[in-house]
């Protein structure tokens, strides 16, 4: 049950990020998350 909740939270955060930040392509999304370089355009 805990793994399911963690998985759900991950996708909720991902949905929030993509609602406020525009990425040029899908490859930029994971790179921005790992580099903590998410900035609005």
- Assess contact for 32 and 13: CB atoms under 8 A: no
**In this predicted model, what pLDDT tens digit does every residue of 11-24 receive, in sequence order?**
888 888 777 778 78
User: What is the domain range of residue 28?
Assistant: 2-35
What's the pLDDT score for residue 27? 82
**Is 14 part of a structural domain of the chain?**
yes
**Is 10 part of a structural domain of the chain?**
yes
- Assess contact for 18 and 29: CB atoms under 8 A: yes
How many domains, in total, are found in the chain? 1
Q: What is the pTM of this model?
A: 0.48
Q: For tokens 């909740």, what's the residue?
A: 5
**Is 41 part of a structural domain of the chain?**
no
């Amino acid at each position: 049950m805990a793994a399911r909740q963690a998985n759900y939270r991950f996708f909720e955060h991902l949905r929030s990020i993509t609602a406020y930040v525009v990425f040029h392509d899908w490859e930029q999304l994971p790179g921005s998350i790992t580099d903590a370089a998410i900035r609005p355009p």
